[in-house]
Amino acid sequence: MNNKEIVEEGQKYIMNTYGRLPLALVKGTGSYVWDADGKRYLDFVAGIAVNSLGHCHPAVVEAISEQANTLIHCSNLYWIEPQVKLAKLLVDNSCFTKAFFCNSGAEANEAALKLARKYAKSKGYTNRYEVISATNSFHGRTLATLNATGQDKVHHNFEPMLDGFAYAPYNDLAAMGAAISEKTCAIIIEPIQGEGGVIEANSDYLVGLRHLCNQHDLLLIYDEVQVGCGRTGKLFAYQNSGVEPDVMTLAKALAGGVAIGAMLVKQRADVFVPGEHASTFGGNPLATAAANAAINVMINENIPEEVVLKSNYFVAKLQQLVDKYDSLVCIRGKGLLLGLVADKQASTVVEACLNKGLLINCTAGSVLRFVPPLIVSNDEIDEAVAILDEALKECNF
């Protein structure tokens, strides 16, 4: 089938839940993908920060192939060797002591929200059930994570909102402190708001959140679904500030393209007992084998350290565009999660780049978001910036 045929069939049979671009991707390798008509694209979306090792990384492909020929799935009623290995790998390279596995970032955040309530009950706080998140945040599309998301546009048509969630402005420590009440059991925060427009938390803000949680005996939850696994120049984003959360959620890049989610906890937050939480497919042999391969590549090939160098190069190139175009305001973000902020709607630039062979994304209406594979080369960054330059000119920026 060609692009047109796939699009037409999709519109006929698939629910309309995405604003899809009119192409169907059928193949990928490294930083490039191809559509059904054979056109090649430089991919600076990477599955929305999922394909961090590029498309079809040999180590991940080999791990998937070997595991698929051995054991694809078995129940968590039994111990699963690659799951155990992945838990150890993540714990050994972080500040956490235990792991729980699921299938997505939303599921990982759901687990964290449940855990926060259980933690409060385990400490004798019978009336604590409320979680505070930041305005402009994004934590998922399930009913609970939608409520944790601090964006009215995401809530629209799904009212009434669930009880148990409160919001405070991002990077405003005083407001967060004021939002804490006798009902509060946890604070959930993104170290960088990705969907919210690539906005980084101030170091003092994160230090302050840790102090507030210590003072009030709350759990501090970091949502690292988009920013974890090397994206910011550290294996985990919390390592940039040195502020350690009690709980961290991961997904997206964890298994190099295979669906997986994880919740990591410190000992004080390890309060679930059998029967209180579970996931049928969570931590299955196939997904955890892929994740072991992906994380081992990250560590053994010093991918996070390389991200810092590539980020510096990319930012310098983007700054040249900011200096050139009046409608570009600034660059935000860290590592290879970068946002080019405009003073007007920027979706037309995404379409122009698509036509020229570059895949990028627009978030918060006016922020061009770049989340390329972490193995991207400087030459590929040059290629992307050249196409972006042409697109900005074409769109009268």
Nearest to 375 by CA among 288, 264, 257, 283: 257
State the CATH number of the domain containing residue 85.
3.40.640.10
Catalytic residue among 96, 165, 252, 334: 252
**What is the percentage of the chain residues whose pLDDT exceeds 70?**
100
Q: Are residues 20 and 154 in the same domain?
A: no
Residue whose token pair is 């330059």? 389
Q: Are residues 307 and 293 in the same domain?
A: no
State the CATH number of the domain containing residue 390.
3.90.1150.10
Residue 101 appears among annotated catalytic residues? no
Give the total number of structural domains in the chain: 2
Mean pLDDT over 51-64 rounds to 98
Q: Are residues 292 and 309 in the same domain?
A: no
Catalytic residue among 96, 100, 138, 236: 138
**Chosen domain end from 300, 319, 336:** 300
CB 87 within 8 A of CB 102: no
Residue whose token pair is 């191809």? 34
Residue 252 appears among annotated catalytic residues? yes
pLDDT at 212 (0 to 100): 98
CB 362 within 8 A of CB 349: yes
Q: Are residues 262 and 352 in the same domain?
A: no
CA-to-CA distance for 310 and 290, rounded, in angstroms? 25
Q: Are residues 287 and 370 in the same domain?
A: no
Q: Are residues 124 and 259 in the same domain?
A: yes
Q: Are residues 113 and 190 in the same domain?
A: yes
Catalytic residue among 35, 43, 223, 246: 223
Residue 88 appears among annotated catalytic residues? no
Q: Are residues 344 and 273 in the same domain?
A: no
The answer for residues whose C-beta is within 8 angstroms of residue 199's C-beta and 6 or more apart is 136, 170, 171, 192, 193, 332, 339
Residue-range definition of the domain harbouring residue 208: 59-300
pLDDT at 32 (0 to 100): 98
**Chosen domain end from 254, 284, 300:** 300
State phi, psi for 65 to the nearest 5 degrees: -60, -45
pLDDT at 92 (0 to 100): 98
pLDDT at 325 (0 to 100): 97
pLDDT at 232 (0 to 100): 98
CB atoms closer than 10 angstroms to residue 394:
15
Amino acid in position 227: V
Pairing of β 40-43 and β 32-35:
antiparallel
pLDDT at 383 (0 to 100): 98
Q: Are residues 52 and 74 in the same domain?
A: no
**Chosen domain end from 300, 326, 350:** 300
Amino acid in position 46: A
Amino acid in position 343: D
Mean pLDDT over 338-344 rounds to 97
Nearest to 388 by CA among 90, 18, 42: 42
Burial 60-73 (b: 16+ CB within 10 A, else e): beebbeebeeeeee
Residue 124 confidence class, pLDDT cut points 50, 70, 90? very high
Q: Are residues 159 and 217 in the same domain?
A: yes
Residues constituting the chain: 397
Q: Are residues 22 and 95 in the same domain?
A: no
Q: Are residues 278 and 146 in the same domain?
A: yes
